[in-house]
Amino acid sequence: DASGRLYKQKVDELKEYMRWKCLNPVTQRKVLKYYELKYRGKYFEEGSLLNEMNESLRMEIAVHNCRELISKVSFLKREQHDGRDDLFAGCIATALQPCYYVPGDILFLQGEIGADMYFLLSGSLNVLISGKRVAQLKDGAFFGELALYANTPRTATVQAASSCIVYRLSRDSFNSILDMFDDVKKKVKAIYNERLEKLK
Ligand code: CMP
């Protein structure tokens, strides 16, 4: 079990590093929790494994990796079936970056300039405006689209209430997907209007 051994080695190195840096025990526990969530006991040099493959294989694997997210998030399901569903799935899957958060982690702060939007695969997140919780987001939710769509600072702070697996989509990918898929653009606009109404 090479990946299991490598994982153990990485965790040992991490513990040594945290002790050397004299990090407080709370932070040390958070970092270890983050590692468990991200690697689940196996460490792979994923970037270099994927880099050796061709585009087509990379896309096939990316779509496979995102299938659970795509099945959970209504935003990622197209209503208009014009023969471009595979293209859409490929564009989305290759653009999404998985991110991992442990309870208490801040994904971004109200007032920040936003560069990404997010999709929640698992866990729960609090949406806070001026320190007050206005919503709780659960599996399948998406957020952070307002700053991208309207080019405004973040309207709220988003903080992990539990361990979360989130996928991040950059502004450039968001814009090119909206340019390519008019039905998705309409959906974002409708959600934008709805959420904006609540913020008034
Ligand atoms: P953005 O303004 O980019 O960053 C904060 C995000 O919180 C915002 O996008 C929305 O996605 C989300 N958000 C803001 N207000 C609400 C709300 N009332 N309910 C759910 N999500 C919200």
Q: What is the rounded average pLDDT of the residues 22-30?
A: 98
Residues 96/169, Cβ–Cβ less than 8 Å: yes
Is residue 176 in a domain?
A: yes
Prediction ipTM score: 0.98
pLDDT in tens, 56-67: 999 999 999 999
122 within some domain: yes
Which residue's alpha carbon is at the smallest distance from atom 19 of ligand 1? 135
Centre of ligand 1 to C-alpha 17, Å, is 37
* 79, pLDDT greater than 80: no
Which residue among 119, 120, 125, 155 is best mutated to probe the pocket of ligand 1, counting the most ligand atoms within 8 A of its Cβ?
155
- Are 103 and 163 contacting, i.e. CB atoms less than 8 angstroms apart? yes
Q: Which two tokens stand for residue 166?
A: 């989130």
Q: What percent of the chain has pLDDT over 70?
A: 100
Q: Are residues 181 and 123 in the same domain?
A: yes
Which atom of ligand 1 is nearest the CA belonging to 157? Answer: 5
Show the tokens assigned to 87.
């293209």
**Cβ 107 vs Cβ 115: under 8 Å:** no
Q: Give me the number of domains the chain comprises.
A: 2
Q: Which domain holds residue 71?
A: 57-199
- With 80 as the cut, is the pLDDT of residue 200 above it? no
What pLDDT was estimated at residue 152? Answer: 92
Q: Over the stretch 92-117, which tens digit does the pLDDT of each residue have?
A: 999 999 999 999 999 999 999 999 99
User: Which of 75, 125, 146 to mutate to test ligand 1, by most ligand atoms within 8 A of the CB atom?
Assistant: 146
Reported confidence tier of residue 192, pLDDT bands at 50, 70, 90: confident
Tell me: do 84 and 164 sit in the same domain.
yes
Instruction: Report if residue 49 sits inside a domain.
Output: no
Query: Does residue 199 surpass a pLDDT of 80?
Result: no
Q: How far apart are CA 28 and CA 24, in angstroms?
A: 6
**Distance of CA 105 from the midpoint of ligand 1 (Å):** 17
User: Ligand 1 centre and the CA of 148: distance in Å?
Assistant: 11
Average pLDDT, the chain: 94
Nearest CA to ligand 1 atom 9: 144
Does residue 74 register a pLDDT over 90?
A: no
Q: Whose CA is nearest to atom 12 of ligand 1?
A: 143
What whole-number distance in Å separates Cα of residue 114 and Cα of residue 171? 8
Q: Are residues 101 and 165 in the same domain?
A: yes
Q: Given this model, what pLDDT does residue 138 score? A: 97
Do 91 and 126 lie in one domain? The reply is yes
Res 158: pLDDT: 98
